[in-house]
Amino acid sequence: MGCLWAILYPAGRWKSKFCGREPQEEKLSTLSKTKVDVLQKEFPFLREIIPVDEFLSGKGKINLVFSEISVTVADSRALYFIPRSYWHEYSICSHDNKHIGSSLMRAYSIDANNQIIDSWEWNYEGQDAFFGILLSKPERPVKKLVLVDSYKWYEHIADYYERGLTTNVGKFSHLEYAVTVFKEPKQSFNQLKSESDLTSNVRIDDLLSISMAARLNTDAKKATDEIDKIKAEFKNRIGQSMWKHISASKSSGMKGQFGNTELLTLCSAGRVMLTFNRGKDNFTLVGDESDWKRTGVQSMHCTVIEAKEMVSEVIENWSPSKLLDDKKVWFG
């Protein structure tokens, strides 16, 4: 295995990490040695965190894949991202089902001289820390944050049973690295951190991670408490009336406009899904079709304040006559 590969995802691929990144090998394109050399000259710290020298020299003893090296400017959403590592040797599968393996996520803070200040590793023994933890105790001003996903892949034998094998894990295939460099925003990292509040102006897309982190993280706990208040306000004010109206409908889907907020509802498999939608922002509740009191939060793609505004707008403008049957409503 003397060859060494480097491959790159399309620009902007880093954003998908916030939803849980999975390699999609059929979409890869070659990252040339010239491009890698340019990147490592601009960001010399890369030599310390990924095997750049092995790639440039072509003398690696193991197959290495650079699936992504992207650069972006940090924003508040990045600071509240919670990376996930999968340490079990065969705990994840690649998008194309050809490889099975494990992953590890590390982060680094970098100073003005491109020197590493500090690092953080996410594992099963540590708490669910936000990416922005590296701004909490800087020894010197942070100018860049770097996130590194490293994967250890083996060949996945999907038909191992039919072939009379005892495991679906084949021989070792390759190591994969995905790197995102977050540059300091114009207002500085310290200012960005002070301006970013998970209970108000930070867009939440990964609600599951936020909820899991609420056990130990103060910021996450405050945000989930506010979200619970939004849910309670809906149930207490119009939950019973809305359930009665939905139950009387012969259509599984309904839609209505309440001020600037659109409400979509769908009954399926004994559950009622309610999505409050305004432009690209949405907030979804899910409840028991037979009991409006058993309603919880399903997902959100907005800030806490925006979720509160949308739900409040539906509450203040609520009238059963505005929520009409619509067979085109479908969530999926």
Residue 331: per-residue pLDDT: 61
Confirm if 235 and 292 have CB atoms less than 8 A apart.
yes
Residue 294: per-residue pLDDT: 92
- Listed residue (226, 218, 217) closest to 199, CA to CA: 226
As a whole number of angstroms, the distance between CA 126 and CA 85 comes to 11
Residue 17: per-residue pLDDT: 34
Structure tokens at 57: 């020299």
Residue 126: per-residue pLDDT: 62
Report strand pairing: 271-278 vs 281-288: antiparallel
Residue 60: per-residue pLDDT: 65
pTM of the model: 0.81
As a whole number of angstroms, the distance between CA 231 and CA 284 comes to 10
Residue 54: per-residue pLDDT: 85
Per-residue pLDDT of the chain (332 residues; tens, 9 = 90+): 222 223 222 223 333 333 333 333 333 335 677 888 889 999 999 999 999 888 777 776 778 888 888 999 999 999 999 998 887 888 899 888 999 999 999 999 999 999 999 999 998 666 678 999 999 877 899 999 999 999 999 999 999 999 999 999 999 999 899 999 999 999 999 999 999 999 999 999 999 999 999 988 899 999 999 999 999 999 999 999 999 999 999 899 999 999 999 999 999 889 999 999 999 999 999 999 889 899 999 999 999 999 999 999 999 999 999 999 998 887 65
Residue 242: per-residue pLDDT: 96
Report strand pairing: 64-73 vs 169-183: parallel
- Listed residue (204, 180, 185) closest to 195, CA to CA: 185
Residue 127: per-residue pLDDT: 64
